[in-house]
């Protein structure tokens, strides 16, 4: 049986106090909506429809980037969750299979939970609702059950005292056959305290038609909906805790794990070692045996086996380190390939460049890659030795086993095996330093009178 997703992402999120649509606020470097789409991908959906509304263009741009095959439909007026899902009706006109409704501000629904909902559908239930036992039921809708049957869902604002005493609560996530879902939605009314069309009402409607509705439960943490900055912070903490635990269970050493921050897509192989206060931005892959030392920041890069980075290093997008490469303290690498065994150990910037195998880059080296309009590349050959404080004015190439003298400004290619020297000659003037200092002190003393 095919499965499909509807992801609701139309809300404003007024409690965020932000011009940014709620679902575009980020956890671990990715919008909440992306986390929801990644959760839903566990179903291998044949069709994904995202319902947008507030900030629709910005939300749709994120959808296009992360899920280009998804369909976006708009909810022009916010009339409730059933009304939102109904905007996807035309997108499912030719679809046969189950539809699962997820929420763009609920990032942690697990693959196991969605699989259990699918299994319950295959066992014959018509409508499956995801519920959880709430520590503080508060504003959540209550699930009214009779044995294993779900009779109805009551919103907290519409519940009587007996219903408010129920702790089994509604997450909002629902699975049903496509035709069944949209038939039930067409009968949902808005006779309630908010005057909205609630998706939850499909359960009561299904029951009156003799259909079977059931509940699948999950841990409350999976159902966290992010509606405020406080909840956004909580979501970040939940994600980071899970990511750290998963990395360590997979054989990665985290030294001071609470200070290490992962991105939503960080990939680290077993036997890598990560030091304290390391931050991973999006798009990082670390191979086995690599060491990322304290206070380093990495994004959009690939660190090869047994390579070392840091401490206090920055790898920017396009940085690629081969086996055993060494990147030291206060070094920045951007859009550059550092070959096997090459070293950039201190206080250097290597951007838009390639550094050959076993090359050594001295302290204070800069590849001058930007002319104010365009970027240019620097090529440094195998076993080259770049002296400290060298400026390489791109585009330029240093050949294999070539060398620069410290303080050299390289403006033309250096042949294989050659040494480049491009600095002013030192001229010593005997006694001049003492005379100059005496003159300066006399001027200062005169001003002080």
Q: Which residues are catalytic?
A: 346
Maximum separation of any 2 CA atoms in the chain, in Å: 105
Residues 99 and 7: their CA atoms lie apart, in Å, by 10
Residues 36 and 369: their CA atoms lie apart, in Å, by 40
Sign of the dihedral defined by the CA atoms of residues 79, 83, 85, 91, in that order: negative
Q: Contact 314/331 with Cβ under 8 angstroms?
A: yes
The residue among 222, 201, 193, 202 whose CA lies nearest residue 102 is 222
Query: Cis omega (within 30 of 0) on the bond before 263?
Result: no
Give the torsion through C-alpha atoms of 44, 47, 53, 58, to 10 deg. Answer: 70
Sign of the dihedral defined by the CA atoms of residues 13, 19, 22, 27, in that order: negative
Q: Contact 338/355 with Cβ under 8 angstroms?
A: yes
The contacts of residue 272 (CB under 8 Å, 6+ apart) are 252, 253, 286, 287, 288, 289, 290, 291, 292
CB-count exposure of residue 208 (10 Å: 0-12, 13-18, 19+): exposed
DSSP code per residue over 97-148: SEEEEEETT-----HHHHHHHHHHHHTT-SEEEEEEE-SS-TTSPEEEEETT
Q: Roughly what angle, to the nearest 10 degrees, separates helices 32-40 and 56-66?
A: 50
DSSP category for residue 387? P
């Amino acid at each position: 049986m095919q499965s499909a997703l509807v992801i609701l992402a139309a809300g404003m999120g007024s409690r965020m106090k932000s011009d940014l649509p709620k679902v575009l606020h980020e956890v671990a470097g990715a919008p909440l909506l992306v986390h929801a789409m990644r959760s839903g991908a566990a179903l291998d959906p044949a069709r994904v429809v995202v319902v947008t509304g507030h900030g629709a263009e910005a939300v749709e741009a994120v959808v296009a980037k992360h899920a280009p095959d998804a369909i976006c439909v708009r909810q022009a007026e916010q009339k409730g969750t059933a009304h939102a899902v109904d905007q996807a009706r035309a997108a499912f006109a030719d679809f046969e299979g189950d539809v699962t409704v997820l929420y763009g501000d609920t990032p942690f629904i697990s693959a196991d939970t969605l699989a259990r909902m699918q299994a319950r559908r295959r066992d014959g239930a018509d409508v499956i609702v995801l519920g959880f036992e709430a520590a503080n039921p508060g504003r959540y809708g209550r699930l009214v059950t009779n044995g294993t049957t779900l009779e109805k869902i009551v919103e907290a604002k519409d519940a009587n005292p007996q219903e408010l005493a129920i702790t089994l609560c509604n997450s909002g996530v629902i699975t049903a056959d496509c035709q069944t879902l949209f038939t039930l939605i067409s009968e949902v009314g808005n006779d309630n305290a908010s005057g909205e069309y609630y998706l939850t009402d499909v359960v009561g409607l299904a029951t009156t038609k003799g259909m079977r509705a059931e509940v699948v439960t999950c841990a409350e943490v999976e159902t966290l909906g992010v509606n405020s900055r406080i909840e956004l912070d909580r979501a970040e903490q939940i994600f980071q805790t899970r990511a750290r635990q998963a990395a360590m269970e997979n054989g990665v050493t985290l030294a001071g794990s609470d200070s290490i921050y992962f991105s939503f897509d960080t990939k680290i192989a077993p036997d890598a070692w990560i030091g304290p206060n390391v931050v991973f931005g999006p798009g990082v892959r670390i191979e086995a045996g690599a060491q990322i030392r304290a206070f380093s920041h990495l994004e959009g890069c690939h660190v090869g086996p047994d390579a070392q980075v840091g401490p206090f290093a920055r790898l920017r997008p396009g940085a690629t380190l081969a086996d055993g490469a060494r990147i030291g303290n206060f070094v920045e690498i951007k859009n550059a390939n550092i070959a096997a065994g090459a070293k950039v150990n201190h206080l250097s910037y290597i951007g838009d460049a390639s550094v050959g195998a076993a090359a050594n880059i001295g302290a204070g080296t800069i590849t001058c890659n930007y002319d104010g309009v365009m970027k240019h590349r620097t090529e440094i050959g195998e076993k080259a030795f770049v002296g400290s404080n060298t400026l390489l004015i791109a585009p330029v190439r240093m050949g294999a086993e070539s060398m620069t003298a410290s303080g050299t400004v390289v403006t033309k290619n250096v042949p294989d095996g050659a040494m480049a020297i491009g600095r002013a000659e030192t001229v010593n003037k005997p006694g001049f330093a003492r005379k100059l200092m005496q003159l300066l002190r006399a001027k200062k003393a005169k001003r002080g009178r």
